[in-house]
Amino acid sequence: MKKYTQAGNYQTFGVTVDKDGGAMFTFEVQTKAQPEIHLFDRATKAPVDVIALPPEYSFGRVYSVYVAGYAWDRLCYLLKRDDEVAVDPYAPVTVGREVWMNEGRIAEGYKIYGGFPSGAYRWKAKPVQIAPEKMILYKLHLRGYTMANGLAPTKRGNYRGILAKLPYLKELGVTSLEFLPLYDFEEIRYQYHYEINADKKTVRVAEEPIGTNYWGYGAANYFAPKASYFGGKNPDIHMKEMVDAIHAAGMEVIMEIAFIPETPRDVMVDNLIYWIREYHIDGFHLLGIDLPIKRIAQNAYLGSTKIFYDSFPLELLQNESEPKRLFVTNDEFIYPLRRLQNHFDGNVAELSNYMRRQGDGYGFVNYAASNTGFTLWDAYSYGEKHNEGNGEDNADGNNYNCSHNHGCEGESANRLINQARISAMRTAFACVLLSQGVPLIFGGDEGANSQGGNNNPYCQDNEIGWTAFSRRKLPKQLREYVRHLIDFRKAHTVLSQSKPMQMTDYRHSGMPDLSYHGKEPWIMGIGEEKKALGILFNGYYTQSQNEEDIMVCLNFYYGEETFALPRLARDRRWFFVTNTGEAEWQPEEEPLSDQSLIVVPGGTISILVSKDNPTPAKKRRIRRKKPAAKKANA
């Protein structure tokens, strides 16, 4: 095919390849210096051609050119813009980081190139939209989640491992997967200095690697899938295969994107639209300082996309949206919970407010642990952070953890200590999964994964940062317990209402939709010293208006606490479901013998449900034999 160029259509930034084999390059410039496209051999990185763009290919500050006659699958490219040759920020594929932590890249100064898309992908599954009240969010690191999970070597650290874990996640009850960065970030942490070369020009010289950017936060190529995660040569196709498989399993894909401050705001908005259009992504958890969150939330193309962020402008939250798609996501839920559990002067009124928070047109995400802190197991196994391995003298990471080691710092062979830790985890999971917002589980917490007390493993691409699932008895019991909690939440929609609870009986059912109780029914006894509370969810305030009522009795005192049980309407009785102090989930088939109170052990939660009063068995009529006549004495 003859090589030629012509003016492009200016429609899409980056590069696209059409069915005729032509490539369209569109990019922005800041100065009048003539821009160029530099083509290289993909395998050797040897220069192949330089395409200079004349002014007639420009429209304002945008250049667009259609180029034909090249075998694009064998090439990669750089752009010369404003007298600098660098990678295209809109490049849909990157070349150079196909192998994770390839230290041999120092020879080229860790240079990367733009690559060309692989071609059309035929989608099999449609994008998934899970209603917010039905979401069970599960956050994971693609590489770390698949490195120490007993998978075959070909599935470790890449998308194939995620495909292998989908049945487990589905069985657990997960509806939405949130991934730490999947775009092509620079995983090698290195320093550089400047030198004067033979041409008396100042050049930047890269130095030896000093560590790993394991999480992926920092400068990145935001439009390209992470090449080392998705098979190297055709990462765009393999990422689409993963998203397609997740959708086929009935789950959503939420991408965490951490924009650095230098990222232009238009690029941020374009980036989100691109991931939706090209990869059918269902939502984004956005990180970064001073993001254009209002523009993002109001963008028409993002009108049905879920956006998770630490705080939204009040005017956005005051506007009810359908479907509900804005979700406040931060650490606020963690601290009231841990202060109570670990006796850091917490009070149950504060926690109860977080458990019932819900917006009319927006939502909240609740979690007890995330990647930016202790794992859930470590929160009850370490009293102090242990980040020495990060090389920062343990000065990094959050110093405010409200954690407790239960009498032993770190690993313990003491059976009672480990049982206490697991019990505390069951209580934390119960608080998250019995709350009105969207529950989030940090991947591996349901299996007691530990980071060895490191609460900031951003650089730990090893057993510290990898997710490990123990086969020991207690972690296996914990996973099963979490699965029961998720099933219980899904079966009782009163625990996940789409609108805020009013704490009134506006349907005239005989009880409010939500009410609080203490040692006396209907009396909470609010005070900072209070560490126990009964929460009653009225099952009549659901769509079916016929669900079981739920009583959740939280006791964060050291000792046991007695809770009054309100008298139920409609001739129902209270039935015991579980107490988080025990590993077993064995709902009782008979009502409580005492329907007026329940005693809850310290540091645990008891869950009760209401059911119709079982009809007593009919008494059988027993015919008694008449006594035989006494014989007369002989």
Asked if 65 and 5 count as a contact pair (C-beta separation under 8 A), the reply is yes
Q: What token pair was written down for 34?
A: 């003539």
| pLDDT at residue 320 is higher than 80 | no
**Pairwise CA distance, residues 332 & 345, whole Å:** 16
pLDDT (tens digit, 9 = 90+) per residue, 5-29? 999 999 999 999 999 999 999 999 9
CA distances in angstroms from 457 to 211, 385, 454, 483, listed in the order given: 12, 11, 6, 27
pLDDT (tens digit, 9 = 90+) per residue, 405-435? 999 999 999 999 999 999 999 999 999 999 9
pLDDT at 631: 41
- What is the rounded radius of gyration, in angstroms, for the C-alpha atoms of the chain? 30
Q: What token pair was written down for 350?
A: 């504060």
- Residue type at 442? F
pLDDT band at 620 (very low <50, low <70, confident <90, very high): very low
Secondary structure element (H or E) that encloses residue 178, with its range: strand 176-179
| pLDDT at residue 360 is higher than 50 | yes
Mean pLDDT is lowest, of 284-288, 308-312, 323-327, 430-434, for: 323-327
- The residues near 86 (Cβ < 8 Å, ≥ 6 apart) are 78, 79
Please report, rounded to a whole number, the percentage of residues in the chain having pLDDT higher than 90: 86
Average pLDDT, rounded, for the chain: 93
Q: Tell which wins on pLDDT, 28 or 323.
A: 28
**Pairwise CA distance, residues 18 & 270, whole Å:** 21
Asked if 541 and 535 count as a contact pair (C-beta separation under 8 A), the reply is no
> In 3-state terms, what secondary structure has residue 248?
helix
pTM, rounded to two decimals = 0.94
Helix axes 348-356, 334-341, angle to 10 degrees: 150
pLDDT at 149: 81
**Pairwise CA distance, residues 99 & 108, whole Å:** 15
